[in-house]
Amino acid sequence: MARKRANGEGTIRKRADGSWEARYCADGKRHSVYGRTQAEVRKKLTEVSVTIDHGDFREDSGLTLSQWLTMWHRDYLGNVKLGTADTYEMQIRVHIIPALGDVKLSALRTPMIQRLYNKKREEGLSPKSIKNIHGCLHKALSVAVKIGYIAKNPSEACILPKINQTEIQPFDTPEINKLLETVKGHEHEALIKTALFTGMRSGELCGLTWDCVDFNKGLIYVKKQLCPPRGIEKNFRFDTLKNGKPRTLAPAPFVMETLREHKKRQEQQKKAAGDLWDDLGFPDLVFTYPSGKHYSQSNVHKFFQNILKKAGLEHHRFHDLRHTYAVSSLRAGDDVKTVQENMGHFTAAFTLDKYAHVTETMRRDSANRMQAFYDDADALIFGCAGLKGILPAELHSPGLGLFLFGEVCTVNDQAEFGNLMLSKLRITKQ
C-alpha cells in the first residue's frame, strides 16, 4: 500500500518547457512551486515545509502588493476620515507601488520594505514622512494577516529613522503683548485672538460656524474642520477633527465678547455686499473675507506671517499660538487632563510628552516654592487635614514657623502624611 505523503513533503520534476516544479500537500490540497532550476524549487519547497511545520502556511492568494493595496484602500477604510484615506492613497501611489507594487504579497519580506525606507531617507524624505508611509503599509499588511492572505506582517521588524521633535516656540508675555497691539483693529483680530486664547487649529477656525458659538453659555463647540481639495476633488469640504472627537471650549469672557463684536461687523459686511455676498456653499462661517468667501488654512498662515513681520516676530508661526495656549494653561495650574481635552489631543500622555519641558519646569518651580516655605520657617509644626478647619488663629510653639498639614495614612503600620500642603499661620513662641 502506497504511503500517504505528509504535509510539506513534495516531489520535484522537470517540466517539458525546461523549468522545474515541486509539488506538495498542505491543508488537504495539492500545491506547486516553480523555478528555473532544480535548486531554486528545492529551496522554495524547503521554505514552504518550514511554514507548514510552524503552522504558518497560507495558501497563496496570487495577489501582488499593488493589487492588495488597491483592494485594501477600496474595501477596508470605511471608518477612517476622508482626508486620511486620501493621504494613504497618495503614499501608496507615490511611494509604495513604484518600489514594491509588482512583488507578490506572499513573497514580500522585511528586507525589501527596509530597503524602501532606507532609499526614501537617502532621497531626502523626512523621518516623519517615512513613518507615515510605514503606518499606511503596516495597516494594510495587518489586515492581510487577519484575513489569512499572509501569515505574518513583514513590516513589523522594520527599523524607522528617529524623529527629532521640533522644539516648540510659544510666545512669551512681551511677544503676546506686541502681537495683540499689532492686531488691534485689524480685520483678522478676532481670528488671531480666538486662536491664541482657545488653542484651536487653523482648520478648526476656518470651519467654525456660528451655530457652534453659544454666547448665552459662553461656549464654543469644536465639531469639524474645513479642508482643502485632495486627489480628484475640486472643492473644499468639512471633515471630522484630527482625533475624530468633538470638544467643548469655555473661553475667557473677553474672547466671547470679541466674537460678538466680530459677528456684528460681519453682518454689516454681508448687508453692504448684498447679492455679491458669496459664501461658496459654506454659509454661517465665523471667519470669512468681506465678500463672504471662506478662509483656507494656507490663507490664514500667509496673512499671519504678514502680521508677524509687522510685529517683528518673524521667527514664530501660526501653530505657535496653539502652543502658547497650552503652555499658558499648564503654567496657570490647569490639570493635564483638562489641557488635553481643550487641545483635542488623543491622550493626556501625548500632552505630557509634547509639553514635557513645561511640566518639568513646573515641578522645579513647585519644589522651589516648597523650599522657600521651608527656608522662611524657624520651625515646622505637623498636623492633619482634619484639623485645618478648627485651627485657632494663633498657635504656640517653641519657635516661629509653618504649619504643614496633609492626609494621614498608614504605611507598614506607621502613620504617614500624604497630599501635603503648606499653610502659613501666625505662630508665636511660647
d(CA 111, CA 123): 18
d(CA 259, CA 360): 35
pLDDT of residue 111: 95
d(CA 127, CA 162): 6
* Long-range CB pairs of 226-235, under 8 A, 24+ apart, other chains included: 226/282, 226/285, 226/294, 226/295, 226/296, 226/297, 227/82, 227/83, 227/203, 228/296, 228/297, 228/298, 230/82, 230/83, 230/86, 231/86, 231/89, 231/90, 235/281
Q: 209 CB contacts (<8 Å, ≥6 apart)?
A: 284, 285, 286
Model pLDDT for residues 230-240, shown as the tens digit of each residue:
766 678 989 88
Q: What are the extents of the domains in the chain?
A: 10-53, 65-146, 173-358, 376-429
pLDDT of residue 422: 43
pLDDT of residue 395: 44
Task: Tell me the CA distances in angstroms from 63 to 53, 98, 150, 358, one per residue in order.
Answer: 24, 16, 11, 50
Smallest Cα–Cα separation from 359: which of 337, 374, 344, 342? 337
CATH number of the structural domain 173-358: 1.10.443.10
Smallest Cα–Cα separation from 212: which of 275, 287, 301? 287
pLDDT of residue 22: 81
Task: Write the burial class of residue 425 (CB in 10 Å: 0-12 exposed, 13-18 middle, 19+ buried).
Answer: middle
Q: In the beta sheet, which residues pair with residue 237?
A: 227
Model pLDDT for residues 313-355, shown as the tens digit of each residue:
999 999 999 999 999 898 888 888 999 999 999 888 888 888 8
Q: Which CATH superfamily is domain 65-146 in?
A: Tyrosine recombinase, N-terminal domain (1.10.150.130)
Residues of the chain predicted below pLDDT 70: 1-10, 26-29, 31, 33, 48, 50-61, 231-233, 359, 362, 366, 369-370, 372-430
pLDDT of residue 318: 96
d(CA 68, CA 149): 10
